[in-house]
Amino acid sequence: MRILVLTILIVAGWFAGGQSVDARENHAILIGASTYQNLDERYWLKGPANDIDLVARYLTTSATVPFASQNIALLADGVEGGTAPTLAAIRQAFADLEKRISPGDFVYLHFSGHGSQAPAIDPDSELDGLDELFLPVDIGPWNDTTGNVENALVDDEIGALIGGLQAKGAMVWAVFDSCHSGTATRAAPTGDDEVRMRKLDASALGVPYDKMDAAETTSRAVPNPRDRAQSPLSADGQGSLVAFFAAQTNETTPEKRMPKGQPGRRSQGVFTFVLFETLTQNPGITYRQLGQEILRRYSSLNLARSTPMFEGDLDSTVFSGSPSPKIAQWPLDVSGDVMTIPAGALHNLKVGGELVLMASASDADDAALGTFRVLSADTFSAEVEPVKTTSIPRGAYLRKLGEDTDFRLTVALPVASGDAVLDRKVSDALTALRADVGERGRLVFVAPGEPADIRLAVLPQSSRSEDVWLLPASGMLEEGLANKTPSVRLEGKTTQELAIVLEDSFMHIARALNLLRIGAGHGSSDLDVDVTLRTRNKQNKALRDLEPVSVPRLLPGDEVHVLAQNNTDQPIDINVLFVGSDYSISHFYSGRMQPGDSLKKGLLRITDQSFGRERVILVMSPAKPQSIVENLSFMAQDDLAVTRGTGVSAVVRAFQEAGFGSTTRAAVALGDDTADEGPAGQIFQFEIDTVPVEN
């Protein structure tokens, strides 16, 4: 919920003369609203209580700068020791904390629950004419006399509450896992009502449609599409602020059972879980690095279509602590026959995963004494067993070597649509495909409600009623995206032909997703290369930097350039790939930077052929002198046609299905330089949104 954009006063620097990390105190207010007694039960949430439990446990046991439990205010229903997060309780918690804190203290704020919108109390304070709301559990209806929603926590008030903490000289980090608006239609099941959107339409609060329409009609919205998600924060006050938002103001953010595909998972806010999973595995990083890694994981895990946003003093270290190395080893505790380590699902440990036994934390990898296997893992702990070892010394550690990358594509089978003929065609084709693929492929088929990368659905009431749809993991046909969601026409294909087209479509999607997964597993290393993406257009020919954590919006005609500097003492090969929202992969450049060299290169120009979430991926590989330049052009593939097998002749369709379809890329190369020209390699991934020009 991006509710602080124009209301919070921030400065980029730490309070002058602030306390040291050892002398300061850390405080937290954790707010999780799940059970809304004044709303219909269908609007209640499951995840906020679990979010607050996870965050509280992390702050007291795993944070690089630990929090004392008595300094954490729990305002969450369904959490042991928590207070119901009513509007009065939230206000009182902020007032109590403001009295207690001193200059240099650190404050963490977490908001999990529903968000909504209502006509702005002060229209001049909101560009879109709407106030953003966080909903306490005692939220009431719209009051037409006063012109507001009863007991709503309005963005202006949140700004004032946080401003009071800043005025005392505190550094504040505020995280909002909620959203306000957006329309999505469930088109495929995800299992036991697994996914809930943390949005509440204003109509559920009794806000009259004409009031909302009038507020939006008189809005002063920014006309340039590039600026819709980039309104700046103003600066004033003493303390500093970092704000993390699960979604833009026009987006929804989900809660679902996390971690994906693991036993013992529970409903969590996706943003909360990914944030703390990333932080647990990468302690001591900056807020900017944390934001970049969250965006990378959203892409590789296909978690949600929402766009997290990050603002404020992003170059400071998380919790205002000190930079620290990545921790991938933990002390082994042996209690009789039970062996455990203080790390679990949040540390990316999976059942069956392998760890190596080290006599001490400082030993080199090649001094490993044996191997262990993970038997079970909850959020913060795991039970393990020895696989190959002679003895276990006292004070031993278990270490994780490398990251596991799952290259399987999980496909959820469709439920019966009610059209027996279409359902039988799909069922027969999938049976043939599964028999043909067997154990040799990376396709995994699961029941309709199980976690999956792609969900199949036959939708007789849709615009493509005789197709089988390839829906995203959410199972949603989202507003404005239905015409970009791929499907396969069932008519005119034999069972075997349909099986072949489906398999080809699955593999097409898998190649694009796996490229993102590889990037997520190689996003950080000791490779000292600086990379910046830049943009310009005909109207503004001066190059300007693209902020990697803001997901910039680019229009047709915008160019993307790269500026890279090799600070190492060895050659570095660089490849530039572009992953389109249509699952296309384009290769735009390969070349070599010698030690100390820089690369200034125009990469691509945005076209008007396809719009959506795109990724620019730069692959950096250490090279040996006089070796052949590494070239990844073999990874390129055409777009996945929105509807396969319709409106063309059999010959043209055969060419398309053989991989010779026409390309509708969202970007084309600049120039004609796509020909060939120590530490681990590194992959830089930049998210961009390509959007049409608005008339």
Task: Give tens-digit pLDDT for 508-537.
Answer: 888 888 888 777 666 656 678 888 989 998
Query: What average pLDDT does range 51-58 have in this prediction?
Result: 95
Confidence of residue 252 (pLDDT cuts 50, 70, 90): confident
CATH (one of 3.30.70.3270, 3.20.170.30, 3.40.140.10, 3.40.50.1460) for 26-181+195-320: 3.40.50.1460
CA angle 206–208–213, rounded 5-degree value: 135
Measured CA to CA, the distance from residue 640 to residue 501 in angstroms comes to 11
Measured CA to CA, the distance from residue 281 to residue 283 in angstroms comes to 6
pLDDT tens across 475-512, in order?
Answer: 776 555 566 788 899 888 899 999 999 988 998 888 88
Measured CA to CA, the distance from residue 72 to residue 344 in angstroms comes to 23
pTM above 0.95, yes or no: no
Measured CA to CA, the distance from residue 683 to residue 523 in angstroms comes to 5
Answer with the residue of higher pLDDT: 91 or 321.
91
pLDDT tens across 167-223, in order?
Answer: 999 999 999 998 753 334 445 666 544 566 665 666 666 666 555 555 444 443 333
Give the full edge-to-edge strand order of the sheet including 72-76: 72-76, 26-32, 106-112, 171-177, 241-245, 309-312
CATH (one of 2.40.10, 1.25.40, 3.30.70, 3.40.1440) for 329-399: 2.40.10
CATH domain 409-514 topology: Rossmann fold (3.40.50)
Answer with the residue of higher pLDDT: 307 or 196.
307
Helix (H) / strand (E) element for 550: namely none
Measured CA to CA, the distance from residue 123 to residue 117 in angstroms comes to 13
pLDDT tens across 99-149, in order?
Answer: 999 999 999 999 999 888 777 666 555 555 577 888 999 988 877 766 778
Query: What average pLDDT does range 574-583 have in this prediction?
Result: 86
Sort 334 into a burial class: Cβ within 10 Å, 0-12 / 13-18 / 19+: exposed
Identify whether the C-beta of residue 153 lies closer than 8 Å to the C-beta of residue 118. Answer: no
Measured CA to CA, the distance from residue 524 to residue 282 in angstroms comes to 10
- Least trusted range by pLDDT, from 86-100, 274-288, 588-602, 645-659: 645-659
Amino acid at the residue 250: N
Confidence of residue 242 (pLDDT cuts 50, 70, 90): very high
- Round the average pLDDT of the chain to a whole number and report it: 78
**Is the per-residue pLDDT at 235 higher than 80?**
no
The values of phi and psi at residue 123, to 5°, are -55, -30
